[in-house]
Amino acid sequence: MITQLDNDFSQLNRFLEELKPTQIIILTDENTHEFCLPTLLGNMETEIPFEIIEIDPGEEMKTLETAAQLWDILIEFGTDRGALFINLGGGVITDLGGFVASTYKRGISFINIPTTLLGMCDASIGGKTGIDHQFLKNVIGTFARPEKIFLYPPFLTTLPQEQLRSGFAEMLKHGLIADAQHWAALTSISALTPEALYPLLQTSMMIKQEVVQQDFKEINIRKTLNFGHTIGHAVESLFLQKNEPILHGDAVALGMICETVLSVSAGRLNENDAENIIGNLVRYFGVLSLSLMTDDEILGMMKNDKKNTEGTIKFILLDHLGQASFDHIVSQEKIRYALHYYRELAV
């Protein structure tokens, strides 16, 4: 389902020829319109009529209001069920565009052409679409698979460095939960550049794809993709509440450090692996100051997470580097110890 595009986008053109959609709608944000759309249009050879939609960039756009505007536009365009939606962008565009396409007229076909590292290795794969609602992330959405995912790594060359770092956290996560060799390859690159990442993209995409194929609805093994996200999400949400938003990748790196500590204290992960993991995560992501928040606030936020039930907090833990298991209930004392460990790294 994932196809890497040659420079002439011939695979995309062949796909369009076979699918023969009645119309093509290309969804972009301001940045992908500027940096990625010219390449797409310069290579797309088709007689099929197409329309381009551009929205403002950013998570703030992943709302019901934007979705409603997009449905209005589709009605105005006279879009029918034979149309194809092309999501050209990062996770915001693939989540929002996938949601709009999968609900318009009970669902029209869509493809993802991810343009961020996080989009390529994570958000564009796995068939989760969605929007945020009432300050809750991804609380409304559908499971809907894209017809295809087209990978074009050179899109990464215009991506800001911090966005590259954010996506890199998810790649490291893939190594930790599923493939020690991938982890070793990722941690041996000297600088985080698009060129250094090109040879590693496919492995990360395949790991996500394989996990999702085994468990589409996240009943068991797909949960392991949330490694680092239980604590990471709580801290990310608290920073947001305090008007100090941080990068998702930085939050996930923090979460992976704390959850590595939990894996050791649960007697699952050995100290050597933990040292390797924590040392490399600190090297790439540094240590965030958590002086703005208390442990009680972080614990409170975790209990509210939609993935937890009845006040217990469930964790994904590492059994060894390259293998994770899920649904571990961990005591508050151990969580407090992991947070204390992280706070001490900063001093």
Q: What is the DSSP letter of 64?
A: H
Asked if 258 and 338 count as a contact pair (C-beta separation under 8 A), the reply is: yes
Residues 153-192 that bind ligand NAD (CB under 6 A): 155, 158-159, 163, 166
In angstroms, how far is CA 309 from the centroid of its own chain? 23
The two structure tokens encoding residue 96: 């929002």
Nearest distance from C-beta of residue 62 to ligand NAD, angstroms = 5
Tell me: does residue 120 bind ligand NAD (CB under 6 A).
no
Tell me: does residue 97 bind ligand NAD (CB under 6 A).
no
Interface region with ligand NAD, contact rule CB under 6 A, candidates 51-59, 193-201, 308-316, 324-332: 51-59
DSSP reduced 3-state for 98: helix
Tell me: does residue 35 bind ligand NAD (CB under 6 A).
yes
For ligand NAD, give the closer residue by CB, 137 or 320: 137
In angstroms, how far is CA 53 from the centroid of its own chain? 23
Tell me: does residue 87 bind ligand NAD (CB under 6 A).
no
Nearest distance from C-beta of residue 198 to ligand NAD, angstroms = 14
Tell me: does residue 115 bind ligand NAD (CB under 6 A).
yes
Residue nearest to ligand NAD (CB): 91
For ligand NAD, give the closer residue by CB, 163 or 224: 163
Virtual torsion, Cα 145, 150, 154, 159, nearest 10 deg: -20
Residue of 51, 59, 215, 305 that binds ligand NAD (CB under 6 A): 59
In angstroms, how far is CA 69 from the centroid of its own chain? 24
User: What amino acid occupies position 138?
Assistant: N
DSSP class per residue in 212-233:
HHH-TT-SSGGGGGGTTHHHHH
Nearest distance from C-beta of residue 311 to ligand NAD, angstroms = 25
Asked if 201 and 153 count as a contact pair (C-beta separation under 8 A), the reply is: yes
CA neighbours within 13 Å on the CB side: how many for 72? 6
Tell me: does residue 101 bind ligand NAD (CB under 6 A).
no
Q: What is the DSSP letter of 99?
A: H
Tell me: does residue 233 bind ligand NAD (CB under 6 A).
no
Residue of 16, 24, 26, 36 that binds ligand NAD (CB under 6 A): 36
Output the 3-class SS for 298-333: HHHHHHCCCCCCCCCCEEEEEEECCEEEEEEECCHH
Residue of 16, 25, 32, 131 that binds ligand NAD (CB under 6 A): 32
Tell me: does residue 93 bind ligand NAD (CB under 6 A).
yes
For ligand NAD, give the closer residue by CB, 89 or 175: 89
Residue of 3, 22, 43, 138 that binds ligand NAD (CB under 6 A): 138
Asked if 79 and 50 count as a contact pair (C-beta separation under 8 A), the reply is: no
For ligand NAD, give the closer residue by CB, 251 or 335: 251
- Cα(271)–Cα(277) distance, integer angstroms: 10
DSSP reduced 3-state for 94: helix
Binding site for ligand NAD (CB under 6 A): 29, 31-32, 35-36, 57-59, 62, 89-93, 95, 115-116, 118-119, 122-123, 126, 128, 137-138, 155, 158-159, 163, 166
